[in-house]
Amino acid sequence: MLKTIRFVFPLILVVCMSIPFVSAQTNSQFAPVEVRTEDSVLLPIPGAVLDNNVYGKGNITNYEQSIFRGKDKAGWEWDWPESGGPKLKSYPEVLIGRSPWSDVGGIAGADGLHAGDQLPRPLIEARQTLDFDFNTVANGLWLASFDFWITSSDHPTKNDIVSNLCIWTMNHGLKPSDVYKGRHMKLKIGGRTYEAIFETPKENPDKPWKTLCLIDTEPRSKGSLELGPLLDALIAHGLAKPADFLATAELGTEVAFGKGHTTLQNFKLR
């Protein structure tokens, strides 16, 4: 199912995202843009891959979501009904590394979900910097977040997941308590201050791994993340071991409901 979709979005809020791409409108008159609408479909881009992730859609059918790429643009668009409530439905995203969900298939994963040769890497060696720059125009409830899966294998499956690090870098109306349960505290990591939530399987039995969610107190859509201090924090708080692997570096839009689009300008490890 391959078709081009054009959305008209109310200019509610502007955010930012990354990968040497310029403005991402699917109606460009200057270069063809490939648009894919299938659930969990993948589109490779230089050094990364786009994933049309709809992991939480449940029985909802009246939604639209797509990923797109062109010569000088890439990103994703969505339109989810408000009737589903504040529960997160999807995470259209860009990914570097090898996802532990790549063997699951269906809406929970995508076969072959991996890109680039920089990840996985043992935590003790993962000292890279992640550069990002993106722009989001959207309404409704949504947030922009980084996702990092920590695994016990460099060819991970979901059974190899040790922990998950999530960083909310932008937020439009969602409460952390809507998503995560657990102990709260403030953390300073790599020169930035975060509201931290430590979630364990005790608080959320549906997840057999530990989770650290960091909410950036200074939201941003362009900049850099030093991975070393973040991974050291996971180790220091008992969420991982130095010999575990950083399997992925991901950036996406977690959508509860509403309409919007994200354009990537830069997303790369160095």
CATH number at residue 169: 2.60.120.180
| Percentage of the chain lying above the pLDDT 90 cut | 77
Mean pLDDT of 190-195: 96
pLDDT tens figures, 201-260: 999 999 999 999 999 999 999 999 999 999 999 999 999 999 999 999 999 999 999 999
Compute the mean pLDDT over every residue in the chain, rounded to the nearest whole number.
87
Assigned domain for 104 exists: yes
Which pLDDT does position 14 carry in this prediction?
36
pLDDT at 68 over 70: yes
Which residues touch 232 (CB under 8 Å, ≥6 apart)?
Answer: none
Task: Give first-to-last CA distance, the chain, whole Å.
Answer: 35
Q: Cis check for the bond before 120: say yes or no (omega within 30 of 0).
A: yes
In a domain, 9, yes or no: no
Residue numbers of the domain that contains 172: 14-24+33-269
What total of structural domains would you count in the chain?
1
How much is the pLDDT for 84?
Answer: 78
pLDDT in tens, 78-117: 999 998 788 899 999 999 999 999 765 555 555 667 787 8
The pLDDT of residue 8 = 35
Identify which of 39, 47, 50, 60 has the alpha carbon closest to the alpha carbon of residue 20. Answer: 47
- Residue 75's pLDDT is 98
32 preceded by a cis bond (ω within 30 of 0): no
Q: What is the pTM of this model?
A: 0.86
Q: Is residue 233 part of a domain?
A: yes
Whether the pLDDT of residue 3 is over 60: the answer is no
Query: Mean per-residue pLDDT for 71-76?
Result: 91
Residue 46 lies in a domain: yes
Residue 5 included in any domain? no
Distance CA 245, CA 254 (A): 24
Residue range 20-49, pLDDT digits in tens: 433 344 444 556 899 999 999 999 999 999
Average pLDDT estimate for 156-161: 96
H/E element, 228: helix 227-236
Q: What is the mean pLDDT of residues 166-193?
A: 94
Domain presence at residue 6:
no
pLDDT of residue 149: 98
Residue 57 in any domain: the answer is: yes
Parallel, antiparallel, or unpaired: how do β-strands 183-189 and 14-15 relate?
unpaired
**Which residues, at least 6 apart from 186, have a Cβ–Cβ distance to it below 8 Å?**
193, 194, 195, 196
Report the distance separating Cα 138 and Cα 210, nearest Å. Answer: 31
> What pLDDT, on a 0 to 100 scale, did the predictor assign at position 12?
36
Residue 7 lies in a domain: no
Q: Which of 221, 223, 51, 41 is closest to 138 using CA atoms?
A: 221
% of the chain residues with pLDDT over 70: 85
Indicate the helix (H) or strand (E) that contains 233: helix 227-236
